[in-house]
Chains A and B, each alone.
Chain A
Amino acid sequence: MRHSAFALAIGFVALASQSSAAQAAPAGARTTPSDTTKTVPLPGAVSLPNADPYPSTYAPVPSRATLIRNVTILTAAGPTIRNGSVLLRDGKIAEVGTNVSAPADALVIDGAGKYVTPGIIDTHSHIGGGGVPGDDGTQTNDINEATAPVTAHVWVEHSVWPQDAQFPRTLAGGVTTIQVLPGSANLIGGRSVVLKVVPSRTVQGMKFPGAKYGLKMACGENPKRVYASRGPSTRMGNVAGYRAAWIQAAGYRARWDKWNANHQGDAPTRDLGLETLADVLRGNILVHNHCYRADEMAQMMDIAKEFGYKIRSFHHGVEAYKIADMLSRDSIAASVWADWGAFKLEATDAVRGNMAILNRAGVRTVMHSDDASGEQRLNQEAAKAMAEGNRIGVPVTEDEAIKWMTINAAWALGLEDRTGSIQTGKNADVVLWSGNPFSVYSRAEKVWVDGAMLYDRLDPSSQWRTDFELGFVPANRGGVR
């Protein structure tokens, strides 16, 4: 299987170069299936010739060079830069430091008293797939294909409604990249999709070019509750369900790898679900595993070893602090909340010190939301968790806490070379905050995605309104003052 082997060997570089090619191509231009056999494989499923059937059509919004000067910069890549400047040009961060001069054509923004951070990244979103309004009959909840415990065949992008009014609110919270995941009703819920938080007529126009897909898996109470009558109805039933799926996937992968090696005879019959699972085994799709309890996470880690895949991130992980050493050892990110819990028994050991304890152990700690309201305030959630660490004697600095919602999240999505920090060459996904982002009084004032200012709190008439909002939702122009 030449293509997948190449993708595995070259890893991120191949994917990155592929995606820039995709970006350069005119919208709608598609390689034919026969062409792809001669080119670098696209990310995603490679069990079959056309591996990227729903390619990103995202193109950055045209932008002008912008210099934000005289500002405090939390870079997520090193120490805070005070009285710093950052230059955004051609969609990238062109320069950052204390002595950056503005090109003649640049828009210059004075950031006195304000802060710059990387665009916030949420590894756990359902917006677009679970849209609003959510009243009975709106049919906007398309997150859980709760018809079978293993639904690896569904792709959540096919549920995403770009006119969900939650998108512009998330952007206004400084969030520039999100992973939309299927829900947790199923043992294996399907493929995730990584989106840029940008206005678009189509989900394809929001897809982060070159981002790997994720696979949603779920432990514990949710699947066993949902399938109580038909099974799995127990935690041991859950585990048997994962194992059966991976056994099938391994066989499927072997059949396709063999056929791909020489294309002799008829191609094996395609199976959408096994196609996805086979690509997890090949390392092309990242596993995002909803799991609350420490003991269950440890079991999921053994299952991953049994079948030779990696868990990229546990999600929710309210007990992750109990196994911080194990997560660190196996390089598994922990996407967690600041202080949610108590809503079910497997969530009752949630502590606010979770993130601080994980952080100290060297775990890639990620502030996630799983909630459209919380997604708008990941900075506040991180501030809570940082404060708790400092209270209990597990100190956390602002330079560490900023990573929880930027570069660590980017790593969990396999995008750490593209976004998530203020460093030269990175995508210009940047937020200007009215003050310290860890203060309750600060708000995202301006938000850039790939160098384009897509949100400006000070200019309400420029703000993104979805089609749904027109007429239905009051414009709220002018605020209180």
Chain B
Amino acid sequence: MRRTILRASLATLVATALSAQTVAITGGKVYPVSGPVIENGTVLMRDGRIVAVGANVTIPADAQRIDATGKWVTPGIVNAATQLGLVEVGAVASTREGSARGRDGVAAAFMPWEGLNPSSVYFGPARDGGITSAVVYPRGGLISGQVAVIHLVSGTADDMVLRAPVGMVASLGHMGNMPRAETIMRLREILTDARAYRTRRADFERAQTRAFAASRLDLEALLPVLDGRVPMIVNADKASDIEAAMKLANEFKFKLIIGGGAEAWQVAAKLAAAKVPVLTGAMNNIPDSFSSLGQRQENAGLLARAGVSVALIGNAGGGDEEAFNVRNVRYEAGNAVAYGMEWNAALRAITLSPAEIFGVADRVGSLQAGKMADVVIWSGDPFEFASQPEKVFVRGVQTVAPSRQDLLEQRYKTLPPNYRAP
């Protein structure tokens, strides 16, 4: 296995060179996620794609072999809710690119990936932690903007965006001085106007319509939501707000995803019946708001058992889930298991389920022939703290570059530090 130290500017070139190679990972305990575990399985990759996965894969003579005996092999993890690449240093305003000012809390046209920082120092730790894709979100307001799936390749922002938009983010619930029903009312008003705008675009251009509740760009951005092409992710914690979101989805025929969903377990059967996926975590049991009094760590397990499609996201709060801790979503899965989720369901909830929810399952999220070669070789159970991701491939390329955190550790592992290197 050629270990290549990449610089961002060289990434595309090197990636191309490496992806021409054929690599066979052999002997590992392979979790394709799309199918049952394969003991002593082989994953064969070529040109950045998975060619074959199975117990009896013929390995071409020219393939590089990686012996994964005793290791666990999984698809790369998809972190389904982050601001990775949008926020570098939280307190530094000039590095916060994840929230638009919008107009009256509405920023539907905001596409935060246009401001993605491909040089973020946190892509390295995320990738080294087994994350190969991330869903990046805008935050704040009634309609925050649009969502992209990014791929953690080294390269430019364009290289990284796997698919966009994959969702529109809105929020329901008590906001500041706005009561719950008013947030519902405002969302309904804006969607109604988007509908009207769709049929009367020409009149609008000639200023022959009534005033609409959102700007032209925002209305325009909502059309794919009304067409059912882009799902609406509604952040809602309280069970009644989740039900309100489901009613709006019925009314306007949009595809709904619930984000947060602290009390989703209370309406699990309804969510399952309506095939509404939920993005939630497993590390919070604190009634930290009157909107989340029913928050519990069993939420994800209860939803999965009811048949709801679940993607696990960080919800512990504090510093557990952003920047270099985007990688920690695997512990969310472990905690979900400790609180009743089936182990396989938890692995699915950080790989194939988010890929399906965001419409990229044809390319990432499982180990299947034809998909992008996003593969992680783990020293053991990926949910355990003692386990380490030993090799991480994104589109068949293993990027081995020390992260900023690695460099600091190397410098100070021995004192006094050598300030000249690394």
Interface residues of A (CB under 8 A from B): 132-136, 165-166, 169, 221, 321-322, 324-325, 337, 339-345, 348-353, 357, 361, 370-374, 376-377, 380, 383-384, 386-387, 390-394, 438-443, 469, 472-474, 476, 479-481
Contacts and interface: CB of A to CB of B under 8 A. Distances in A.
20 contacts: A134-B289, A339-B328, A340-B318, A341-B319, A341-B324, A342-B88, A342-B90, A345-B92, A351-B408, A377-B335, A383-B385, A384-B331, A387-B387, A392-B413, A394-B413, A440-B338, A440-B385, A442-B338, A443-B338, A474-B266
Interface of B: 88-92, 122, 174, 176, 266, 283-291, 293-294, 296, 298, 301-302, 305, 316-320, 322-325, 328, 331, 334-335, 337-341, 383-388, 405, 408-409, 412-413, 415, 417
B413 A387 contact: no
A320 B387 CA distance: 25
Contact of A351 (B290, B294, B325, B409): B409
A392 B414 CA distance: 12
A380 B298 CA distance: 18
Contact of A133 (B88, B293, B298, B341): B293
Nearest to B325: A339
Contact of A344 (B92, B338, B387, B412): B92
A309 B316 CA distance: 37
Contact of A439 (B176, B305, B384): B384
A130 to B, nearest CB: 10
Nearest to B341: A480
B contacts with A: majority SS: loop
Given A134-B289, A472-B293, A340 B383 contact: no
B411 to A, nearest CB: 9
A348 B89 contact: yes
A470 to B, nearest CB: 12
Nearest to A472: B293
A447 B318 CA distance: 25
Contacts of B88: 342
A133 B289 contact: yes
B417 A374 contact: no
A86 to B, nearest CB: 24
B330 to A, nearest CB: 9
Nearest to B411: A322
Nearest to A441: B338
Nearest to A170: B286
Contact of A321 (B324, B384, B412): B412
Contact of B405 (A166, A343, A352): A352
A292 B316 CA distance: 22
A373 B388 CA distance: 24
A349 B288 CA distance: 30
A380 B331 contact: yes
Contacts of B266: 474
A395 to B, nearest CB: 12
B386 A438 contact: yes
Contacts of B283: 373, 377
Given A343-B90, A474-B293, A440 B334 contact: yes
A476 B317 CA distance: 21
Would you list the 6 A-B pairs with minimal beta carbon distance, nearest first? A480-B340, A440-B334, A340-B319, A342-B323, A344-B91, A383-B385
A183 B333 CA distance: 32
A371 B386 CA distance: 23
Nearest to B384: A440
Given A374-B318, A469-B287, A473-B287, A345 B334 contact: no
Given A325-B415, A441-B337, A480-B339, A387 B386 contact: yes
A357 B319 contact: no
Contacts of B334: 440-441
A129 to B, nearest CB: 15
Nearest to B176: A136
A479 B285 CA distance: 12
Given A166-B286, A374-B318, A438 B338 contact: no
Contacts of B305: 480
Contacts of B289: 132-135
Given A341-B319, A357-B412, A480-B305, A386 B338 contact: no
Nearest to B388: A391
Contacts of B91: 221, 343-345
Contacts of A344: 89-92
B299 to A, nearest CB: 10
Contacts of B337: 440-441
B122 A371 contact: no
B288 A132 contact: yes
Contacts of A339: 319, 324-325, 328
A51 B413 CA distance: 46
A132 B383 CA distance: 30
Contacts of B388: 387, 391
A136 B302 CA distance: 30
A180 B63 CA distance: 59
Given A221-B91, A384-B385, A439-B384, A322 B286 contact: no
B338 A343 contact: no
Contacts of A393: 413
Given A440-B383, A479-B298, A353 B409 contact: yes
B340 A380 contact: no
A481 B293 contact: no
B376 to A, nearest CB: 15
B89 A343 contact: yes
A135 B290 contact: yes
Identify the interface centre among B340, B341, B409, B415: most chain A CB within 10 Å of its CB: B409
Given A342-B324, A350-B324, A386-B386, 13 more contacts: A132-B286, A133-B289, A340-B318, A340-B325, A341-B324, A343-B322, A344-B90, A345-B92, A351-B408, A352-B409, A380-B335, A392-B409, A480-B339
